[in-house]
Amino acid sequence: MKEMKGSYHPLLLLLFLPFVFGSFSSVADGSTYETFLRCMSNGNSSGQVSSLVFYPNNSSYTSTLQAYIRNRRFNTSTTPKPLIIVTPLHDTHVQSTVVCTRNLGMNLRTRSGGHDFEGLSYVSYANFVLLDMSNLRSIDVDIEVETAMVQVGATIGELYYRIWEKSQVHAFPAGVCPTVGVGGHISGGGYGVLLRKYGLTVDNVIDALIVDVEGRVLDRKSMGEDLFWAIRGGGGASFGVILSYKVQLVRVPKTVTVFRVSKTLEENATDIVNRWQYVADKIDNGLFIRLNLKPDNAKKTIRAGFTALFLGDSNRLVSVMNNEFPELAIQKQDCKEMSWIESELFWSSNINAPVKSLLDRTHYSPKFAKRKSDYLQIPIPRNGIESLWQKMIELSVVELTFNPYGGRMSEIPDWETPFPHRAGNIFKIEYGVNWAEEGPKVEAYYVNQTRLLYDFMTPFVSKSPRGAYLNYRDLDIGTSSVGNNSYTDGKVYGGKYFKGNFDRLVKVKTMVDGSNFFTNEQSIPPLKTRRKNRRK
């Protein structure tokens, strides 16, 4: 039989190109793969590259794809899959991947830890290449100068561990879940329970390496302050492929103290939650008290969980609590003293695990999950809190987590980084549902519940625009056309994530990637979207 490959007239192929996913005009056949591999081998990395490139017919393709899927919603047979996966071992492989993906006119999705709540790092409806950064994960801690160089494929648990190996009085103010990836977390503005004392991850970043649209590796000096600003909270995926961040470590005492207590409505949760709103953002900067609200369906009540980290010993914590927040009635026996690294295990509900478990990249059992976010600037009135209980019990599946701001967060101007939700915000709300049953109907049910609660919260939360947190990715708040993101559409979600910083992000985007090669459903649009992504 005559081989079909190459039997079409080249011009005929060209005719079809514009109809395939807008500007992404690749036809996936054997020749695509060969072209890609040939291009990759032209780079500096010849010889090795073929072992870093996975096609769908390869027996390791599926396990490579699934290894860092952290949300089962995007692990189904109907989820769009990459045409090619590349797993670089060296920066030059990343450079080649950018150049060769652009040559082929395909979309590129970069995945570091894979925790994106909408799966944007590994799902695209355009023909796409998945660039999986998980092998680029070296961490170099320099305690003398209190900095660390961290490659994006490292997890924050690995970063915490490597810091702890060298010093027990240093830390980094990143998130709680140890498997979260450095690349997405920091570029999206990542925060953790040290934020009232030290701000966000991005407030403690001092340099970075990025591969730009031309395949060049740039550091802070060569990329310039505008791009360096953008990749500290504006999302990496709009601007290039970040290789590493250099971060400033922060100091923590040898002994910190934690507590976790829970109150039901019968135990005066309403009064205590109400009071929390007036205290949590103003209390000692070394004290972070997270509030988690959960409907208890059996008992038709609400469980208000208060979990705290204090940068000091338990005597001082009890005295601070008695002075500022006596309603919670914290006593010495509620408190537990430990090292900062142990407190990380405590927060990730893993207190009995050895510190080494922070290195475990597979310690995560993904569920189906949906998240949304809000910011609160005026305390919810007491009767509002009561109506919220009613609604949560009625919906029965959505949890809310209130993360207090204030402290360092209020000292940093809104425009210092792309992350704009600073002074004036009492707390951030995270809406969360996780579920275990598969199927579109179940999914529609749970996702719907989060939307109903979000609608219910409208009168209480920030407005014009209603704020949202990029790292709690939520496609409900707006999307734009992949490869053809428009300013008008981008302003809808961009205004919520970045407020007044959106326009500066658009300027940076226009400057560094005017052809809009780095694009997804919520990327920053360049000012004039040019249609062609092909490299000339």
**Binding residues for ligand NAG (CB under 6 A):** 22-23, 30, 33, 44-45, 50-51, 53-55, 57-60, 66, 69, 72, 75, 90, 92, 267-268, 366, 444-445, 448, 452, 481, 484, 486, 531
State the Cα–Cα distance between residues 351 and 345, nearest whole angstrom: 5
DSSP string, 367-394: -EEEEEEEEESSPPPHHHHHHHHHHHHH
Residue 294 exposure: Cα atoms within 13 Å on the Cβ side? 12
Given candidates 173, 181, 483, 490, which one binds ligand FAD under the rule CB under 6 A? 181
Bridge-based pairing state of the strands 147-151 and 217-218: unpaired
Q: How far is CA 385 from the centre of its chain?
A: 29
Kindly state the number of chain residues that form the binding site for ligand FAD, as judged by CB under 6 A.
32
Contact of 65 with 112, CB cutoff 8 Å: no
Residues 219-238 touching ligand FAD, rule: CB under 6 A, are 236-237
Which stretch in 116-124, 336-344, 353-361, 487-495 sits in contact with ligand FAD by CB under 6 A?
116-124
Residue 299 tokens read as 């008992």
Q: Does 432 bind ligand FAD (CB under 6 A)?
A: no
Taking residues 236 to 255 in sequence order and writing x for each that binds ligand FAD by CB under 6 A, - otherwise, the string is: xx---xx-------------
- For residue 431, the partner it binds in ligand NAG, ligand FAD, none, with Cβ less than 5 to 8 A by kind, is none
Residue 449 tokens read as 């519940």
- For residue 456, the partner it binds in ligand FAD, ligand NAG, none, with Cβ less than 5 to 8 A by kind, is none
CB of 341 to ligand NAG, least distance (A): 27
State the Cα–Cα distance between residues 398 and 384, nearest whole angstrom: 17
Q: What share of residues in the chain are helix, strand, coil (percent, to 5)? A: 35, 20, 45
- For residue 355, the partner it binds in ligand NAG, ligand FAD, none, with Cβ less than 5 to 8 A by kind, is none
Is there a catalytic annotation at residue 469? no
Residue 281 tokens read as 């953002």
Closest CA to 490 of 471, 516, 459, 472: 516
- For residue 445, the partner it binds in ligand FAD, ligand NAG, none, with Cβ less than 5 to 8 A by kind, is ligand NAG
> Looking at beta carbons only, is 58 or 396 nearer to ligand NAG?
58
Q: How many CB atoms lie within 10 A of CB 275?
A: 17
Bridge-based pairing state of the strands 301-310 and 256-264: antiparallel
- For residue 484, the partner it binds in ligand FAD, ligand NAG, none, with Cβ less than 5 to 8 A by kind, is ligand NAG
State the Cα–Cα distance between residues 509 and 18, nearest whole angstrom: 24
Q: Let me know how long the chain is.
A: 536
CB of 202 to ligand FAD, least distance (A): 10
Q: Does 120 bind ligand FAD (CB under 6 A)?
A: yes
* DSSP code at position 155: B
Closest CA to 444 of 89, 73, 142: 73
> Looking at beta carbons only, is 324 or 489 nearer to ligand NAG?
489
Catalytic residue among 161, 375, 469, 472: 472
> Looking at beta carbons only, is 316 or 535 nearer to ligand NAG?
535
Which stretch in 104-112, 332-340, 482-490, 506-514 sits in contact with ligand FAD by CB under 6 A?
104-112
Q: Where in the sequence numbering do the catalytic residues fall?
A: 472
Query: Which residues of the shown chain bind ligand FAD in the complex (CB under 6 A)?
Result: 70, 109-117, 120-121, 133, 152, 175-177, 180-181, 183-185, 187-188, 190-192, 236-237, 241-242, 471
